[in-house]
Amino acid sequence: MKVAGVAYRSVWREADRVAIIDQTRLPFEFHTLRLSNQDEIAHAIRSMQVRGAPLIGATAAYGVALAMSTNASDAGLQSAAKLLGGTRPTAVNLCWAIERMVRRLQAVAPAARAAAAWEEAEHIAEEDIAFNLAIGRHGLALLRNIADRKGTVNVLTHCNAGWLATVDVGTALAPIYLAHDSGIPVHVWVDETRPRNQGMLTAWELSRHGVPNTLIADNAGGHLMQHGEVDLVIVGADRVTATGDVCNKIGTYLKALAAKDCGVPFYAAVPSPTIDWNIHDGLHEIAIEERSADELLTMRTLDPANLITHGRIAPEGTSAANPAFDVTPARLVTAIITDHGIAPASREGLHDLFRRKVA
């Protein structure tokens, strides 16, 4: 996607370094960073300089490539996998990407590992873009149907599942970008997504692409659905079970409940690596990341002098809990938009679409 006329991916190789967009400085400042080793990659993932399930996976793959450039021994590979795999627990794309790198690199001699690692990381990144374009094409049909019936399509989305959360294009936002680019009138209600406010990233990237959008408080979605202001909800996901439960940013579940009550279709847009075929019960089998209470107790703002400030919004000594994700049970999900097509959110639906045998 383009920023000020220049095309960017969210992660890319630059000679022997890995370049990223520092998302902790958005939407106020667009700033890129060059990372030189696996520790800097681990820090970028933990601190959410890069974030979003597919982007975390691709960045970790590049982190393995950096690690192989200094120590390509079996021990070096295992230690990079452990370090990077421990950065964030919920998005399955992280362990998916690392396992894929390890499998590929174990099959080549240490002397050839650095080159093979860079190549595999690049494949993972390119594949992510292809997955997202396919999700966009499948989701586009849903938006086109609504537009044919009633004109402007009002989509509600939660968190940021746009190009910033992936290598490019995005997952939940992919159908929206494709619809907008093909002349379908589309408007997006953007949940602010407290406490990290990923909604600001969504508003930023939609606006840069010229897609009409309106930022709303997290609590406003239900009201808008009750009043017919939302045609469909599309969210991303950090992990989807083999039975169609959707784990995504905290607050997603409440949107799905409201959507069900109001008869608004609720979709999750998901690249195939986000489906965890090994788990069947999202509520009990997915580790939900608990992040620092500071994320809730403080807020970043831009002061009148255009300086980013970080201020407390809760009284000193307030205790806070900050679970970062929740699970929406499959029964609340209308369907899952994947790179393979659109599947009912169920064991049978997903297995049929991916031509897998039901275990």
In the chain, where do the E strands start and end? Answer: 2-3, 6-7, 11-14, 17-21, 32-35, 153-157, 186-191, 213-216, 232-235, 239-241, 246-249, 266-270, 275-276, 298-302, 308-312, 325-328, 335-338, 342-343
Position among 11, 53, 232, 233 found at the interface with ligand MRU (CB under 6 A): 53
**Should residue 340 be labelled a site residue for ligand MRU when binding is judged by CB under 6 A?**
no
**Should residue 159 be labelled a site residue for ligand MRU when binding is judged by CB under 6 A?**
yes
The backbone region for 55, taken as left when phi is positive above 0, alpha when psi lies in -120 to 50, beta otherwise, is: alpha
CB of 189 to ligand MRU, least distance (A): 15
**Should residue 166 be labelled a site residue for ligand MRU when binding is judged by CB under 6 A?**
yes
**Should residue 143 be labelled a site residue for ligand MRU when binding is judged by CB under 6 A?**
no
Position among 68, 77, 129, 237 found at the interface with ligand MRU (CB under 6 A): 237
Tokens of 48: 């959410």
Quick check: helix, strand or coil at residue 274? helix
Residue type, 355: R
Edge-to-edge strands of the sheet including 32-35? 11-14, 17-21, 32-35
Count the Cβ atoms, other than its own, within 10 Å of residue 306.
Answer: 8
**Should residue 57 be labelled a site residue for ligand MRU when binding is judged by CB under 6 A?**
no
User: Catalytic site residues?
Assistant: 238
**Should residue 195 be labelled a site residue for ligand MRU when binding is judged by CB under 6 A?**
no
Span interacting with ligand MRU, options 11-19, 45-53, 112-120, 350-358, rule CB under 6 A: 45-53
6-7 and 2-3 strand pairing: antiparallel
**Should residue 198 be labelled a site residue for ligand MRU when binding is judged by CB under 6 A?**
yes
CB of 49 to ligand MRU, least distance (A): 11
Position among 52, 89, 136, 349 found at the interface with ligand MRU (CB under 6 A): 52
**Should residue 165 be labelled a site residue for ligand MRU when binding is judged by CB under 6 A?**
yes
**Should residue 76 be labelled a site residue for ligand MRU when binding is judged by CB under 6 A?**
no
Edge-to-edge strands of the sheet including 232-235? 213-216, 186-191, 153-157, 232-235, 266-270, 335-338, 342-343
Task: Choose between 54 and 244: whose C-beta lies nearer to ligand MRU.
Answer: 54
**Should residue 328 be labelled a site residue for ligand MRU when binding is judged by CB under 6 A?**
no
Residue nearest to ligand MRU (CB): 236
**Should residue 171 be labelled a site residue for ligand MRU when binding is judged by CB under 6 A?**
yes
Edge-to-edge strands of the sheet including 275-276? 275-276, 239-241, 246-249, 325-328
Quick check: helix, strand or coil at residue 308? strand
**Should residue 59 be labelled a site residue for ligand MRU when binding is judged by CB under 6 A?**
no
Count the Cβ atoms, other than its own, within 10 Å of residue 161.
Answer: 32
Position among 63, 236, 244, 251 found at the interface with ligand MRU (CB under 6 A): 236
**Contacts with ligand MRU, residue ranges (CB under 6 A):** 51-54, 91, 159, 161, 165-166, 171, 198, 236-238, 248-249, 324
